[in-house]
Chains A and B, each alone.
Chain A
Amino acid sequence: MSDHSRDLSGAGRRNFLKGVTLTGAAALTPAVVAQTPPPKNPARVVPLPNLAVETLPPPADPSNQTSSGGDFMVDVLKTLDIDYLAMNCASSFRGLHEAVINYAKNVKPEILTCTHEEIAVAMGQGYAKIEGKPMAMICHGTVGLQHASMAMYNAWCDRVPVYVMIGNIIEADKRAPGVEWVHSAIDPAALVRDFVKWDDQPASLQHFAESAVRAYKVAMTPPMGPVLLSLDAELQENPIPDRERLRIPKFAKVTPPVGDPGALAEAAKMLAAAQNPVLICDRLARTPAGMARLVELAETLQCAVVDQGGRMNFPSRHPLNQTFRRAAVVGEADVILAIEMNDLYGAVNSFSDRIVRATRAIFKPDAKIITLGSRDLYLKSNYQDFGRYAEADLAIAGDGEASLPALTEQIKRLVNAGRKSAFEARGKKLAEAHLATRERAKSDATIGWDASPITTARMCAEIYSQIKDEDWSLVGNGINIAWPRRLWNMDKPYRWNGVSGGAGIGYNAPASAGAALANKRHGRLSVTIQGDGDLMFAPGTLWTAAHHHIPILYVLLNNRAYHQELMYMQAMAARHGRSVENSHIGITITDPNIDYATVAKGFGVYAEGPITDPKNLGPALKRAVAVVKRGEPALVDVVTDPR
């Protein structure tokens, strides 16, 4: 390709047009011009086959090609079974983009048009947690990646495989003046390297094939995480010089590591002998099998389970579920098994956000702590998402879900009749406590039942009433209010899809849409509890949901504020002995109030609201659910009391 082939707008374009005017369309290149005799009578040009032209060597500035690197990249992505490619379009990957739409016919991967790169990545995060595999996203290597980066950080903290690709123009002499220079970098991945598991910038198509498969493998190996491939534009766009020599390596998933049998036996002994063992977990259930495995372990031991909610680990109404009695059960525990915990320290210590920032252990000093998880296998330094160092008496490296069956088997072998009846008595007590907690939740929910603004408890009870007879899936819960887990029967692996990980606001709307896209295939009804503040980071998500017919119900928890921060601000003002009355400045989202239903309608989404009277909420949700069941997104704006 010539120096100017990337950009026909400048000098290259002028030369090109000169060629056309001088010689006619049949002979564009200078080489051809030189060889073609001028027609004797310009008015009588007959387009005859030109033997001379067809037997010439290839021109120095060809106009067309019959193969492209992008096509080969598509071939590689197809072997990885990637269903979707989420993107905000950009010229640095026009080669791959064109190959997807015309060579792959927009099937596997199918393009998802996103109005922001953060949406594309977050959709992949929500999708992967439901579907168990990544989708791909692609963006400009510089500006696009800067937009994508926070969503990648969330996925990193949440241990979710997202497959990010970027376009870049590596060779300086191939970049057009201007924009292509500001959109190129020598090491674009540097921006996000602290929170991707692996990245590469392949220098050839063979290199791409190997790195693409490797990236997939790395992303999918626990602890999972984002990966990044930087794709040279020349590699995507130009002809394939040697297709027959290219080989796509086969992909074999890495078997997740199971904990050492000796260590698991030791853990089994401690748990079987304990008076009050407690299981506490966070990102445990990696696949639909995870929940059943934890249930089996808990029922074998008849012990308390505390589910920190990073995944759908344990049924909300299981009698052994003591999630809302965490301090009580951790306080009584003599052995604690922490499985795939991110912040174990935070879970077994209390913390006060005061002038002197103090922590206090809530577990007994002689309690034994066992950790089981893949977390110890992989850490990075800069970002502090690993939390405070938590001491353990026995630390087992291994994937939690993969290790549970062996652990449960070992425990079963140790339990004799005597222990069994002791376990049963323990289980009965826990079941009673569980029931009392549920009754308490119901009673708490009655306070302000008919109030306006609507209480969040009432809102959640109304949602549940509309979805409980469907095959529902709560794909997001913005600021993670507790009511769904307190009031709803969350009994299947897809009932809940976890949280952002990095607490990067702007996650909930797009990640919920991505999860809903995955649920669509399974015929599930997706619903998300959406913060107003979160929605305004990437409201264009609503358009993507409408455009791609993603069935999802957005219930807007509209407290007209970044309310979390309002609470912090009041505490700060009070600490300084000042009035809390100005705390709303910079924090509330009022004056003017946003009319979210109108916003949603503008994006092509069915919407109702603002709803202020609780009596109107049930009927509005019912109408919205009907829309979602027809396969489209819907939004109901509910004006709520703060939390």
Chain B
Amino acid sequence: MNGFRRRLAVALLTLGASNAVWSQNVPAGDAVNGKRVYLVAGCYTCHGRAGQGGAMNYPAPALAQTQLPVEALKAFVRAGPNDMPAYVESQLSDKDVADIHAFLRSLPGRLPAKNIPLLNQ
């Protein structure tokens, strides 16, 4: 766990929240708009179009099927930990972030690696 994630976890716990609570409190985003924003805001340049992750000076994590609640995603987007850009609200609204979240949740994500011969050589 890196420093930002640690601080984020503590902050979220103090709020007394849990993943389930957030998922319920936040209206489901629009995945179609989320995909558009994900491309326009350039998330894909580091995290990949399929949310597969990528590499800057160190890895940019995979985001497909993210387990982060939308508030945590927002916290990452606003804080831009380490090398990640920190997006201000005037450039990327809370709604857009929620839509990105819906898009990331809608991505197929991982496949079983054992079914892909090229990954077992």
Contacts and interface: CB of A to CB of B under 8 A. Distances in A.
B88 to A, nearest CB: 5
Interface string B34-77: 00000011101110111111111101101010000000000000
A577 B50 contact: no
Contact of B113 (A442, A458, A643): A442
Contacts of A194: none
A449 B85 CA distance: 27
B21 interface: no
B83 A570 contact: no
B16 interface: no
A354 B82 contact: yes
A462 interface: yes
Given A449-B111, A641-B50, A570 B55 contact: no
B82 A439 contact: no
A577 B88 contact: yes
A202 B88 CA distance: 62
A325 to B, nearest CB: 12
Contacts of B59: 482
B86 interface: yes
A451 B53 CA distance: 13
Nearest to A455: B52
Nearest to A576: B88
Contacts of B56: 564, 567, 643
Q: How large is the interface on B (under 10, 10 to 19, 20 to 34, 35 or more residues)?
A: 35 or more
Nearest to A579: B91
Given A481-B55, A575-B85, A577-B88, A487 B119 contact: yes
A465 B121 contact: yes
A143 interface: no
Interface in A349-371: 350, 352-354, 360
Contact of B118 (A444, A465, A481, A570): A465
Nearest to A481: B55
Contacts of B85: 570-571, 573-575, 580
Contacts of A350: 2-3, 82
Interface in A417-469: 439, 442-449, 451, 453, 455-458, 461-462, 464-465, 468
A567 B46 contact: yes
A442 B44 CA distance: 21
Contacts of B118: 458, 461-462, 464-465
Contact of A443 (B45, B49, B83, B113): B113
A570 B112 CA distance: 33
B109 interface: yes
A566 interface: yes
Given A354-B82, A574-B87, A580 B110 contact: no
21 contacts: A350-B3, A354-B82, A442-B119, A443-B113, A444-B62, A444-B110, A447-B50, A447-B52, A447-B62, A447-B64, A448-B48, A449-B116, A451-B52, A468-B121, A575-B85, A581-B42, A641-B49, A641-B50, A643-B46, A643-B55, A643-B60
